[in-house]
Amino acid sequence: MTKLTKKSATSPSNIAFIKFWGKKDSKLNIPFNNSISMNLDSCLTTTTVHFMNNLKEDEIVIDCKRVDGEARERVVKILDIVRSWAKIKTKAKVSSINNFPADVGVASSASAFSALALAASSSAGLKLSKQKLSILARLGSGSASRSVIDGFSEWKKGTSNNNSYAVQIAKPSFWDLRDIVTLVSSEKKEKSSTEGHSIATSSPYFEKRQKDLVVRTKKLKKALLEKDFNTFGNLLEKEAIDLHVMAMTSVEPIFYLNSTTFAVMKALRDLRVKEIKGYYTMDAGPNIHIICRQKDADTINRVIKRVAGVKSTIINRPGLGSRLTNNHLF
């Protein structure tokens, strides 16, 4: 008989250098293109899962609130997959906390579903390989596939459920980069990334982007592995702009960026003239991720915090992926 125990996992958010935008299969979260990211060591979700015989239904609590509706369904989908793999019918209690605000462009779904994948599979007595864990996390949220892996990773798009998962490109210690997450808004975004994905192919630039990505992805990976920071930064910014052009030109235009986003982008360009180099990238939200080297992080952080509209910053190093912890939430 399967031994069901309480298990907890901690998992990071990640920042995509090459973005996932558009799904070939929206049920399985199979992307059109490979994507590349770095885990953020200070933006974490911790999740505890316990499959318990006395429960009549799954109990899901996020940031101390019981969740219903779509958020609950997404969690139950993962619990159901784990139940089918472990051949059990037992319901689970799930509790999860983030140490950063959700829905503002820091990918909370990435840390949430990668933590859930590890905690739930372990609680059901399964010992999944990194590959299987990445697949399970992907089924919850595409970008979560990358958070499972330590350091820098590439999500190989694959062609089916079994071959679409992330692999490591480099360990966290490989390159001492910083991501200064610059929060310019704490409002919930108008359109989720899931909604954005669903209309991505309607942009007239979609096909062009897919073509461009073949070369851009290769170049960015090379620049990363050679630690060629300026080439890397330029590609990073091109890719970020591309994503937002796609969003703005979808059948229903989505405007994720706000005026403070643009003010921070300008401040970074001004700093670069003085040889203080930070490059921007933004996911599906107005907040900016400033990628820089350790030596420039404090100066950039000081300057950026003075830009009108900037609320706060979180300085991240390249982080580990999902791991078990004894820090149980119940």
**Interacting residues with ligand DP6 (CB under 6 A):** 16, 19-21, 29, 35, 107, 109, 141-143, 193-194, 197, 283-284
Rounded Cα distance, 185 and 88, in Å? 43
Residue with tokens 């490979």: 34
Q: Closest separation between CB of residue 65 and ligand DP6, Å? A: 20
SS3 70: helix
Q: Closest separation between CB of residue 284 and ligand DP6, Å? A: 4
Gap between the terminal Cα atoms of the chain: 24
Provide CB contacts within 8 A for 302, sequence distance 6+.
none
Q: Closest separation between CB of residue 32 and ligand DP6, Å? A: 11
Q: Comparing C-alpha atoms, which of 109, 145, 34 is closest to residue 284?
A: 109
Q: Which is nearer to ligand DP6, 55 or 214 (by Cβ)?
A: 214
Rounded Cα distance, 251 and 268, in Å? 31
Q: Closest separation between CB of residue 113 and ligand DP6, Å? A: 8
Q: Which is nearer to ligand DP6, 90 or 286 (by Cβ)?
A: 286
Rounded Cα distance, 111 and 188, in Å? 17
Q: Which is nearer to ligand DP6, 142 or 151 (by Cβ)?
A: 142
Given a contact cutoff of 8 angstroms between Cβ atoms, the answer to whether 79 and 47 are in contact is: no
Q: Which is nearer to ligand DP6, 72 or 272 (by Cβ)?
A: 72
CB atoms within 10 A of CB 99: 13
Q: Closest separation between CB of residue 178 and ligand DP6, Å? A: 19
DSSP character string of 157-219: --SSGGG-EEEEEE-GGGS-EEEEEEE---SPPSS-HHHHHHHGGGSTTHHHHHHHHHHHHHH
Q: Which is nearer to ligand DP6, 180 or 240 (by Cβ)?
A: 240
Provide CB contacts within 8 A for 205, sequence distance 6+.
242, 245, 246, 249
Q: Which is nearer to ligand DP6, 32 or 175 (by Cβ)?
A: 32
Q: Which is nearer to ligand DP6, 20 or 51 (by Cβ)?
A: 20
Q: Closest separation between CB of residue 295 and ligand DP6, Å? A: 27
Q: Closest separation between CB of residue 45 and ligand DP6, Å? A: 13
| Amino acid letter, 96 | S
